[in-house]
Amino acid sequence: GAGVSQSPSNKVTEKGKDVELRCDPISGHTALYWYRQSLGQGLEFLIYFQGNSAPDKSGLPSDRFSAERTGGSVSTLTIQRTQQEDSAVYLCASSLVRDSPLHFGNGTRLTVT
């Protein structure tokens, strides 16, 4: 069966440009998470979607970051006016329900030059 799919796998952008990262979760999974992983750092929580509930945005580092999940499936993470410190691997994960194991995609490696 298909796992979590993320695109693009790599993205290089210039400082100040906007980027969109896409996540296709496993079909039927109600929970969707975005995490960020920097070199030598742990996974940093960004945002959580659960069904039709309001998302938990408590991990978004600034108002330049936003995310949406359309139709309870595909999710897009948008970073506006990118900065060099935004360079990292952005990981998406989905789970069947809250507290079920997370299934991760292979991430989008974002490089801001």
Partner 1 sequence: EDQVTQSPEALRLQEGESSSLNCSYTVSGLRGLFWYRQDPGKGPEFLFTLYSAGEEKEKERLKATLTKKESFLHITAPKPEDSATYLCAVTGGTASKLTFGTGTRLQVTL
Using CB under 8 A as the criterion, which residues of the chain lie in contact with partner 1 when the complex forms? 4, 33, 35, 40-43, 45, 48, 50, 56, 58-59, 91, 93, 98-99, 101-107
CB of 5 to partner 1, least distance (A): 11
Nearer to partner 1, 2 or 14 (CB): 2
CB of 77 to partner 1, least distance (A): 15
Contacts for 34 with CB less than 8 Å, ≥ 6 apart: 23, 46, 47, 48, 67, 75, 77, 90, 91, 92
Give the burial string for 15-24 (b: 16+ CB within 10 Å, else e).
Answer: eeeebebebb
What is residue 103's DSSP assignment?
A: E
CB of 64 to partner 1, least distance (A): 20
Contact 31, 98 (CB under 8 A): yes
Nearer to partner 1, 83 or 111 (CB): 111
Nearer to partner 1, 79 or 93 (CB): 93
